[in-house]
Amino acid sequence: MYTELFTLCGYEPEEIEKETPRIERAFEKAKLGREDIERAENRLREYFDTTSFGVRKSLKIWMEQFIDMVLAREEGKKIIYPSYPTVPDITLAINMASEDVFCQTPELVLDMVMGQIFGKIDPILEAAEAHGLSQGLAMCSLNQARVGGIIQGIAPMPDLLLGTGFFCDQTPKTDDYLHEVYGIPMVIMDGCMDSSWDEFPEISSRRVKALGIEIRRAMEECQDALGIKITDELLEESFSDFTKLWTSLFMLWDYMKNDPQPMSLVDLGPLWWMATSPDRRALTEGIQVIAQLIREMHQKVKEGKGVVPKGAPKVLIFCHQATDPRVMRMIENAGIAVPTTALIGVTASQAAAFADTKYTIWEEKVANNMLSHGLYHSTPGCIHRYRELCQTWNVDGVLNFYHFSCRAYCIAPLMIKSAIEEDAGIPVLSLEGDFYDTRQYSAESLKTRVETFADMLTIKAASRSG
């Protein structure tokens, strides 16, 4: 019953055979039956490029994560759930420190597997809604998945919650909720986005040091709670491994600049999400998959193959929908090339920050790198990032698809529209949506606005060339 699905997800026959007992136990816990498997197979065939070896292998990474997560408790692992936005360096360091720890963001695993693959995220969201994260209150669906997954027992009760509060208020409050209701210990890395309006791309050392202190404190509390030891050498090693991972990912992403766009964000998305919350597997299988995809991309470019026609208008999107591939496919079908998102990629100001040798201790280097992204620094930082990315990617428009239930993301959309349209002369469509839930913002419901925007970009391009 599992052969076809797991083959589509890049498993070899002997791996399927070996893993079957674990698959069965995990699927039973997650209440995934024959019907779900069939749906998943159809979705994979229809929305993912399963002819690509690299894509199948990247899906495999998520399937493995899912099975590991569901079985983590019965397999005797200590469980720690970092939350979004993660400090990926910590996730990686904890994973590298001990094989007896399962350290992963459950909402991400659920979105990738129960959402993207099985199309069955709704019951998880509904479980959270029945327990206080109600509909109609603009509660973030990513946090709903965290809570719903735990309530449904798909994500086992963790030993520790590792939250961040330097950007998002809702995630740490979700952890506070889990702490109050279920008594789960929590560690929050706090922070305040209190830079002056004109600070970015400079980053005050006050912000870097403050975030660094919080990261270090969290790291120490995690060690105490989990009984693990994370040495400074290990931190440096994970820092350099993490840099390698992202460097190779960016090399891959560079191919997306080609016309026609060689691959879909649907197919590359799982890899990007993996890098935002990396574990050991990301460093081994992940790096191999990236190398494989680079080879495939190279070939596609050589052959002039693409997911959209050559010359299709190119847009920058804020973030691609993470639970339902149909949204991105709808955008591509409207004739728009979406080679990257505002969350991916190194801007020039980020590169300058990475090269800065001012900070030498691990936590400050991590903090500096995170803040240099822009989004986690401030609204001007976010706008700055958009400007830089629009230039680097030479886009014809911005599809500012924003997550309506996220207070942190809702501040900037209209400012971005005004800044990018007025300063850079690039049209921006502000598109209210949901990154992790398509019950209200399905591909169908977004289609008309996207198609109109595509028409506008095409007319603009035609008038330019005419």
Partner 1 sequence: MEAMDTLSDHLKTRVIELKKLQDEGRKIIGYTPGGYMPEELVYACDAVPVGLIRGGEHEPVLYAGAYLPRWMDTFCRAQIGYKMLGEDPSYQMVDLLAVPLTDNNIRAVADCWDFYTDTEVFRFGIPHDKSDFAFNYYLDGINLLKEKLESLTGNKMDEAKLKEAIDLCNRERELLKEISLMRMSDQSPISARDFIDLNHSSFLADKSVMVEALESVCTEMKKQEPARSMKGPRILLTGSTLARGDYKILSLIEETGAEVVIEEFAEGMRHYWETVNPDGDFMEALADRYFKRRVPPAWFRPGRERLDFLIKLAKDFKVDGVIWYQLMYRDSYDFESYYFPPMLEKETGLHMLKIESDYDASEIGPFRTRVETYIETIRR
> For binding to ligand SF4 (CB under 6 A), which residues are involved?
84-85, 140, 142-143, 167-168, 170-171, 403, 406, 408-409
State the binding partner of 315 from ligand SF4, partner 1, none, CB within 5 to 8 A by kind: none
The nearer residue to ligand SF4, 57 or 403, going by C-beta atoms, is: 403
The closest of 110, 111, 112 to 153, measured between CA atoms, is: 110
- 345: contact with partner 1 by CB under 8 A: no
**64 HSE (CA, 13 A, CB side):** 20
Shortest distance (Å) from residue 436 CB to ligand SF4? 8
Candidate segments 219-227, 282-290, 299-307, 408-416, binder of partner 1 by CB under 8 A:
408-416
Going residue by residue from 117 to 146, which x/- string records binding to partner 1, judged by CB under 8 A?
--------------xxxx--xxxx------
- 407: contact with partner 1 by CB under 8 A: yes
The nearer residue to partner 1, 1 or 361, going by C-beta atoms, is: 361
- 433: contact with partner 1 by CB under 8 A: no
The nearer residue to ligand SF4, 96 or 265, going by C-beta atoms, is: 265
- 421: contact with partner 1 by CB under 8 A: no
The nearer residue to ligand SF4, 168 or 245, going by C-beta atoms, is: 168
State the binding partner of 437 from ligand SF4, partner 1, none, CB within 5 to 8 A by kind: none
Going residue by residue from 145 to 184, which x/- string records binding to partner 1, judged by CB under 8 A?
------------------x-x--xxx-xxxxxx-xxx---
∠ CA 166-115-184, rounded to 5°: 45
Shortest distance (Å) from residue 414 CB to partner 1? 6
State the binding partner of 134 from partner 1, ligand SF4, none, CB within 5 to 8 A by kind: partner 1
Neighbouring CB atoms inside 10 A of 355's CB total 7
Contact footprint for partner 1 (CB under 8 A): 131-134, 137-140, 163, 165, 168-170, 172-177, 179-181, 186, 188, 190-197, 206, 210, 213-214, 217, 378-379, 402, 404-408, 410-415, 418, 432
